[in-house]
A and B are shown apart, each in its own frame.
Chain A
Amino acid sequence: MTCEEFKALAPAWALGALEEEEREACQAHLASPRLHEGCESALARAQQAAQLLAQGLRPVVPPETVWNAIERRLAQETEAAVRRDSALPRWSRLSRTLALAASVAVVFLLIGNRLGRSEVDRSTIVPLRELQARTASDLSLSQTARTHLEGVVEDCRRDLKSADDSFAERQRALALLAEPTTEVVGLAPQPNFSSSGSVILNRGKHKAMVFAKSLGLVPNRDYELWIIRNGDKIPAGLLKVEAGGSALALIDNQLLDSGADAIAVTLEVAGGGTVPHGPLVLVGAIKKG
């Protein structure tokens, strides 16, 4: 199937009107690693248009019992997940999380690689008119991706601004966040913890900060930061948790410059240690620079 053929079928696909074999062919085409000519954006546009049929209906508010039932199911699923996870050894949980995070990083790399490769292809083989069309399509894609990433940065900025005012480092973090080359890496909360966090990272300036929130204060326990490199867990200091449950810490730039696959936070006995013993609280994979 060519991209032109795909785009001709995209409206019927978005409507759900394709035959099974046509739909499978479209799925296979979209999943192929070839250089596409605006296929994804054509499908997205068709889906938006098809959705007008839903938009034309008069909205009807479901009864409250529907949300109540959803909440009950969420609670059951969360409880089951916590039970399943508690059965695993601590660092098995970390490995599993890192594997997931690494897959996300690989997807990012593949996308980057694909876009990078398409630049080379365009400059060498495609006619000018086609080049213009493809560039417009890719610009539309990268615009959407940028909106997504900007949202991550905005989340982090909002959280920082609402954090405890006593933070001396807060302005520094906001300034770092304002740098155009700064990346924000989300730290995923682990089962049994409702904390969340981000790593604010600027490779060019050799600066990185960790910001976490909703860290519960636990007597005789400290939150400790770790850099994971080639499977080694390197201690990177304790997080000073403010009364509001937020913590902001600068990561040692020498530690980070030596490379990091991931950053994690664990809950350790007061004072921390050189190897992690406590439960994993937050973890996030760092993309290769």
Chain B
Amino acid sequence: MRQPASTSDSEADELSQLRRAGRGEAEALHSLYERYAPIVFAVALRIVTNRTESEEVVQDTFLEVWRRAAEYDPRRGSPIAWIVTIGRTRAIDRLRARGAQERMLAQADAAPASARSPAELTEGREARERVQAALAELPAEQRRVLELAYFEGLSQSEIAKKTGDALGTVKTRVRLGMEKLSATLAELWRVDRP
């Protein structure tokens, strides 16, 4: 089963594909696309809530991976984290460019992603369910600040304004929430290691 932190084998495989993409091998980019486009697309749908724009985010993401693959530094995180971060950044950029009002219109217009294109991957399903369970265990206020930051691109002070909580409280929730996610990550890693 695949898991978020990736085992050494799959990480070596991803590194190899990134290196090959960096040397201009389109086949390697396609392998990375096959593996990660569904995650990037899901993140984009969650952030921009518009199918057409999310498809453009996926395009932009993998073109950026293609152009910047040679710059990838494994010390800064796994390939999947790098690719998803690019996708999330592209989606947040679009969200900011679009503005709040237009976003509300798009939300009203967009059907839930799973309703239009379920096409769920079976690979990684168990890991995802465990991640979802771990996220569900987070106190609601911690999960909310993490989601506001990650999916809406809000800074801690913007979150404080939005929720009406003190900045210090938001920072504490971010820290505690991330500590719990790290513990979940370690747990997944331990379980999935051979």
A residues within 8 Å of B by Cβ?
8, 11-12, 14-20, 40-41, 43-63, 65-67, 69-71, 73-74, 77-78, 141, 144-145, 147-148, 150-152, 154-155, 186, 188-189, 196
Contact = CB atoms under 8 A, between A and B. Distances in A.
Contacts of A18: 155-156
Nearest to B92: A16
B124 A144 contact: no
Contact of B19 (A43, A62, A141, A155): A155
Contacts of A55: 4, 39, 124, 127-128, 131
A46 B182 contact: yes
A48 B37 contact: no
Contact of B75 (A14, A16, A44, A59): A44
Interface string B95-128: 0000000000000000001100111110010011
B178 A61 contact: no
A78 B4 CA distance: 33
B121 A19 contact: no
21 contacts: A15-B146, A16-B153, A17-B145, A17-B156, A19-B156, A41-B75, A46-B182, A49-B178, A52-B131, A54-B43, A55-B4, A56-B128, A56-B134, A58-B113, A58-B114, A60-B42, A61-B37, A62-B37, A70-B33, A147-B74, A151-B16
Contacts of A77: 63
A40 B76 contact: yes
B192 interface: no
Contacts of A60: 38, 41-42, 45, 113-114, 117-120
Contacts of A59: 38-39, 41-42, 120-121, 124, 128
Contact of B149 (A12, A71, A78, A141): A12
Given A46-B182, A53-B146, A74 B26 contact: yes
A151 B79 CA distance: 14
A155 B16 CA distance: 7
B68 interface: no
A58 B80 CA distance: 16
Contacts of A151: 12, 15-16, 19
Given A19-B155, A48-B185, A49-B182, A63 B43 contact: no
Contacts of B154: 17
A14 B178 contact: yes
Q: Which of A17, A73, A148, A188 has the most CB of B within 10 A?
A: A17
B55 interface: yes
Contacts of B42: 54, 57-60
Nearest to B152: A16
Contacts of B128: 55-59
A189 B70 CA distance: 14
A15 B174 contact: yes
Given A16-B149, A47-B76, 20 more contacts: A11-B175, A12-B171, A16-B153, A17-B159, A19-B156, A47-B77, A47-B85, A49-B178, A53-B135, A54-B43, A55-B39, A55-B127, A58-B128, A59-B39, A59-B41, A60-B118, A62-B58, A65-B55, A66-B41, A69-B59
> Which of B20, B30, B42, B154 has the most CB atoms of chain A within a 10 A radius of its CB?
B42
A15 B155 CA distance: 9
A73 B156 CA distance: 37
A188 B85 CA distance: 28
B43 to A, nearest CB: 5
Contacts of A14: 178
Contacts of B92: 16
A40 B41 CA distance: 28
Contacts of A152: 19
B11 interface: yes
A40 B182 CA distance: 16
A67 B155 CA distance: 33
Contacts of B59: 66, 69-70, 73
